[in-house]
Amino acid sequence: MAENINVSVVGASGYSGAELLKILNRHRHVKVGTLFANTSAGKRVDEVFPHFKSVFRQTLEPYSAEAASSSDVVFIALPSGEAMNIVPDLLAKGKKVIDLGGDFRLKDIALYETFYKRQHHAKEAVQQAVFGLPEWNREAIKSATLIANPGCYPTSAIIPLAPVLKEGLIEEHGISISSLSGVSGAGRSSNTELSFAETNESVKAYKVGTHQHIPEIRSSLESITGKAIGLTFVPHLLPITRGIYTSIYASLKRKIVQADVLAAYQKYYSKEPFVRVSDTLIPEIKHVNHTNFIDIGFRVYPDNNQLIVFSTIDNLIKGAAGQAVQNMNLMFGLEETEGLI
């Protein structure tokens, strides 16, 4: 077991990068090394994030493979499309890499290029990547050198759907997923559509039918269940900073009651440190924000032959930085909850 892990963060000036720094700072087995940024390069971390005053004194540097090569593991918290340009070199240098973006989540390159609307330039690395969902890929994560950290929306959908699909409680087709996210999910870059004046007192759907997380949700569920999955996914923007609320609607395969659904979740998640399931309470964003937990609730409607499942996560933690550290802990043989509880 590694006792002193040297860590670098590429994209340390973004929202997910900042959450990574918070978690890594309290991690007993981590030494935070070089921190990289693009537009904020040359500034000190506590200039960009004043709450890090007297905590981090490093100056953010422009990325260089040479500087990153002194680390045992490199977190990449960059917009999708950028990690593919630096990951192959890091892997060639023998580094472990955890990418918080979308470049290595889809094994099907054609799907990636269709939904992300760009060419992929690191196709060999894609086949090496392990999808970093600990609840379902724990053993593969332990021996991985490249982790494709799941997206925030997919995390909120895959974890609640997988058990009821595996146990044959719901139909594999006709699944509807409606997710609402805080504006931090779009990153820290300036965007008029995400400004206070545009988002306050409003809710809107976006990227309907074209969102890049659609194939990620589908392909992951198909990998877990071994069955073809048919679903619709509609994301919405909420006028809040952080958090995701996901509602899932599915048709039942047979007559069931609440206890049957609870048994399915207990079968797969009773020992999972970050999955909390209730058959009575409906989850709320405020109970998971600033944590690595996912809360799941559900209701069976036998008269309508329907199951409705609700989940909540913090998009920046369980949906990004927290799950990334959870993956790092597994890769280095550490307690999975280290730094996260």
- Per mean pLDDT, which range of 7-11, 40-44, 87-91, 319-323 is the poorest? 40-44
Average pLDDT, the chain: 95
Predicted confidence (pLDDT) per residue in 110-158, tens digit = 999 999 999 999 999 999 999 999 999 999 999 999 999 999 999 999 9
User: What is residue 153's predicted lDDT score, i.e. its pLDDT?
Assistant: 98
Closest CA relative to residue 294, chosen from 78, 134, 99 = 134
Closest CA relative to residue 56, chosen from 31, 75, 39 = 31
What is the Cα Rg of the chain in Å? 20
Confidence of residue 1 (pLDDT cuts 50, 70, 90): very low
CA-based torsion, 151, 152, 158, 159: positive or negative:
positive
User: What is residue 191's predicted lDDT score, i.e. its pLDDT?
Assistant: 75
Domains of the chain: 5-150+319-331 (3.40.50.720), 153-315 (3.30.360.10)
Closest CA relative to residue 240, chosen from 297, 190, 314 = 314
For the cut 50, the answer to whether the pLDDT of residue 330 exceeds it is yes
CA separation, residue 148 to residues 1, 167, 245, 265 (Å):
22, 27, 23, 25
- List 152, 157, 238, 313, catalytic entry: 152
Query: Virtual CA dihedral for 130, 131, 136, 137, nearest 10 degrees?
Result: 10
Confidence of residue 264 (pLDDT cuts 50, 70, 90): very high
User: What is residue 194's predicted lDDT score, i.e. its pLDDT?
Assistant: 77
Predicted confidence (pLDDT) per residue in 24-83, tens digit = 999 999 999 999 999 899 999 999 999 999 999 899 999 999 999 999 999 999 999 999
User: What is residue 3's predicted lDDT score, i.e. its pLDDT?
Assistant: 66
d(CA 238, CA 315): 12
CA-based torsion, 300, 304, 306, 308: positive or negative:
negative
Placement of tokens 């699909």 in the chain: 165
Confidence of residue 190 (pLDDT cuts 50, 70, 90): low
**DSSP at 277:** E
- Per mean pLDDT, which range of 68-82, 172-186, 195-209 is the poorest? 195-209
d(CA 174, CA 97): 36
Biggest distance spanned by C-alpha atoms of the chain: 63
Average pLDDT over residues 87-93: 97
d(CA 228, CA 224): 10
Token code pair at residue 113 = 């290029």
d(CA 323, CA 317): 6
Cα–Cα–Cα angle for 4, 82, 14, rounded to 5 degrees: 60
For the cut 90, the answer to whether the pLDDT of residue 237 exceeds it is yes
Contact 239, 151 (CB under 8 A): no
**Residues facing 247 on adjacent strands:** 178, 310
Is 152 tagged catalytic? yes
